[in-house]
Structure 1
Amino acid sequence: MQADRPLIDRYLEMLSVERGAARNTILAYRNDLEAASAHVRGLGGADAEGLRALVGEWAALAPSTVSRKLSALRGFYAFLEAEGVRDHNPAHSVARPGLRRPLPRILSHEEVARLFEVAEERAGGERPAHHDVRMLALLELLYGSGLRATELMSLPRTAIHPDRPFLILKGKGGRERLVPVSDRARAAAARWAAFVPGGQPWLFPSGKSHISRIRLFQMVRELGAAAGIEPSRISPHVLRHAFATHLLSGGADLRALQTMLGHADIGTTQIYTHVDSAHLVELVNRRHPLVDLKRGAA
């Protein structure tokens, strides 16, 4: 394993510098490669048979985890081949497990309306609590613009301009994208910004930094509970899914949605077409006139 470490470092440096891989991807790949190296007693000299035995040890893991680990191995060996360290890629002959991407959880239009009803009622009046004004701004940006939790939390204080209906964000892999911001979201953000001290660099500060992912998750779930939504069904990412699904069902172009969400691969965006199809199938099964005819025949 000691001999593998410099090679792993070089590979991960390449992913970071040349391909703009996200920090979490780098950390996950490092853990995957170091664990694999320890298991096969060195990746540099491992063959396809040893790698297949390794993959067999992953049988109890989730298919998505196995797929990521295998991607790390294949990419690592492709790098070694390109660098002249290996003359072939032994991971090519290792079968990738079947992977069925689960449909994302979403909320109905009615449930989203209830969330906004509660948030707007709390943030209304002449002297609302500052955390209620903040919650409304967060909700508007999560559902109204489809921001990732990390992107939302780390917004600079001056990111949202009252006269500019869009944001330019740097997302996964360092890719920049343009995200529309609705009039009501800009108004909610401007209202919240009045509570933020001028010296703060973040729009949603907390202590010496910005609010955390965990705190945002807790806030969204608390709002969901107040709106009568089961806590396990709601999170910041579920609101992003709802944004995408509701836009698509309303006639949004798939390519435009891909750009707004910051997906590198349109295949990731296409999952929302399956969500809509699933809803249509459920609708037919429950509401089609033949359903009543079958009940009458029984």
Structure 2
Amino acid sequence: MLADEALSLFAGYQYSLNRSEHTVIAYQNDLGQFFRFAAQEVGQEPESLTVQQIDVYIVRSFLGILTDQGLTRKSMARKLAALRSLFKFLCREGILSVNPVQRIASPKIGKKLPHFLYLDQVEGLLRASDCSKLLGARDQVIMELLYGSGLRVSELVGLNRDSLDLEGGLIRVLGKGNKERVVPITNYARRAIENYLKMRSDENGALLLNYQGTRLTDRSVRRILDKLVNRVSLEQHVHPHMLRHSFATHLLDGGADLRSVQELLGHQKLSSTQIYTHLTRERLKDVYGKAHPRAKTVIDPLK
């Protein structure tokens, strides 16, 4: 099978799994870069390259070139993940009998602590929308659900009116891998949603609409958040996922157990949630170092 045909087939497979447009395009870009390199390695044009020509040595050479170019381990791991997904798919479909990536080890990446907002910063953003106007009321719903329920942006924009159980204080969310979960919403979020829906006169089933009356996109949510950040004059860069990080951090600070936070976030592995325990520990150490009189000054204990 030609490499271009494999890319098209794989893109269709990813869309069938409800992958976002951004994810599919990123995978296609990384895989396209690899196939162009592989074509050079075998001495032919990319258009005539077949996936059967790819072997472990070409993959290792590709990773070696990326290392020489100074690519970060995180970026290399992302490209290798794209290759793993593609060749695993091709083997499962019977297009290939040998997976050339199977024995390639992933580069080790140190865990980076996620950035979060302090409570007063979040409260400023939650007060920044003009809820007397339709779009302001919608923006308030966005903020209440991103922070109050810890939703991913893709989960937020995918919500429909029939996803809501306002009386029960619950919403049905479609998460990663098409996995559905039910999460609670705050009373603030429930009132914000009720206010927003009362202002709408359309029959669109999507919960969040743009000014044209169509479903809101991930990119639009980012622009809305940027607008609110500017309005309250926050100096740091804030992205929507920071509100999810803040949700988890504030829950743990408030005494929530790790398993409950894992379920609320929709994490498949507990290790994905445990990163927030490191975050809360680091924050407490920072607070302690700045606030306790015996921690402010370093002295020589032998004197």
Question: TM-score over 0.5 for the alignment?
Answer: yes
Relative to 1, partners in 2 of residues 1:30 and 1:135: Cα closer, same or farther, differing over 3 Å? Answer: closer
Which sections of structure 2, spanning at least 5 residues, go unmatched? 40-48
| Contact residue 155 and residue 202 of structure 1 kept, 8 A | yes
Partner of 1:46: 54
TM-superposed CA distance for 1:180, in Å, is 0.7
Distance 2:133 2:85 in 1: 51
Q: Name the CA distance, whole Å, in 1 between partners of 2:254 and 2:4.
A: 51
1:176 maps onto 2:174 in alignment: no
- CA–CA separation in structure 2 for the residues paired with 1:159 and 1:78: 34
Given residue 34 of structure 2, which amino acid in structure 1 is its aligned partner?
A
Q: Distance in 2 between matches of 1:85 and 1:210?
A: 38
Alpha-carbon distance change, 33 to 133 in structure 1, aligned in 2, over 3 angstroms: closer
Residue 235 of structure 1 corresponds to: 239
Which of 215, 221, 226 aligns to 2:220? It is 215
C-alpha deviations, 1:169-217, integer Å up to 9, x for none? 1122111011111222111110111111142222222214123333322
Q: Could you tell me how far 1:86 is from its partner in structure 2?
A: 5.2
Contact 1:160 1:186 in 2 (8 A): no
Cα distance, 1:107 vs. partner?
Answer: 0.5
Contact 2:289–2:296 under 8 Å retained in 1 = no
Q: Please state how far the C-alpha of 1:49 moved relative to its aligned partner.
A: 2.5
2:93 paired with 1:94:
no
Residue type of the alignment partner of 2:26: A
Amino acid at match of 2:192: A
Matching residue's letter, 2:227: E
Q: Indicate the SS of the match to 2:298.
A: helix
The residue number in structure 2 matching 1:259 is 263
- 2:140 aligns with 136
Paired amino acid for 1:282: D
Farther off after superposition, 184-193 or 109-118: 109-118
Runs of 4+ off more than 6 Å: 295-298
Percent sequence identity over aligned pairs: 30
> Is residue 164 from structure 1 mapped to residue 168 from structure 2 by the alignment?
yes
Residue 31 of structure 2 is matched in structure 1 by 33
Q: Give the deviation of 1:6 after TM superposition.
A: 4.2
Contact residue 105 and residue 241 of structure 1 kept, 8 A = yes
Contact 2:59–2:101 under 8 Å retained in 1: yes
Letter of the structure 2 residue corresponding to residue 97 of structure 1 = P
User: 1:204–1:55: structure 2 CA closer, same or farther, 3 Å change rule?
Assistant: same
With normalisation by structure 1, the TM-score equals 0.82
**Paired residue for 1:4?**
3
How far the C-alpha of 1:54 sits from its partner, in A, is 0.4
**Which sits farther off after the overlay, 69-78 or 245-254?**
69-78
CA spacing shift, 1:82–1:114, aligned 2, 3 Å:
closer
CA contact (8 A) 1:16 1:26 kept: yes
| 1:61-80 deviation line (CA, Å, top 9, x unaligned) | 34333212212323444455
- Aligned-partner Cα distance in 2 for 1:117–1:82: 51
CA distance in 1, matches of 2:14, 2:216: 29
Q: Please give the per-residue CA displacement for 1:242-296, whole angstroms capped at 9, x wherever unaligned.
A: 1111112212222222222222332222221121121122123223332345379
115, 118, 121: which one aligns with 1:108 = 118
CA RMSD, Structure 1 to Structure 2 (Å) = 2.9
What amino acid does structure 1 have at the position aligned with 2:272? T
How many pairs align?
288
Asked if the contact 1:157/1:193 (under 8 Å) is kept, the reply is: no
Aligned mates of 2:159, 2:89 — CA distance in 1: 36
Amino acid at match of 1:218: R
Is the CA contact 1:74–1:92 (under 8 Å) kept in the aligned structure 2?
A: yes
Structure 1 regions of 5+ residues with no counterpart?
none
Q: How does 1:276-295 map to 2 (within 5 A)?
A: 276-294=280-298
Q: Which of 71, 75, 92 pairs up with 1:61?
A: 71
Q: Is the Cα contact below 8 Å between 1:155 and 1:204 reproduced in 2?
A: yes
Query: Separation in 2 of the partners of 1:285 and 1:158?
Result: 49
Aligned pair 1:74/2:84, yes or no?
yes
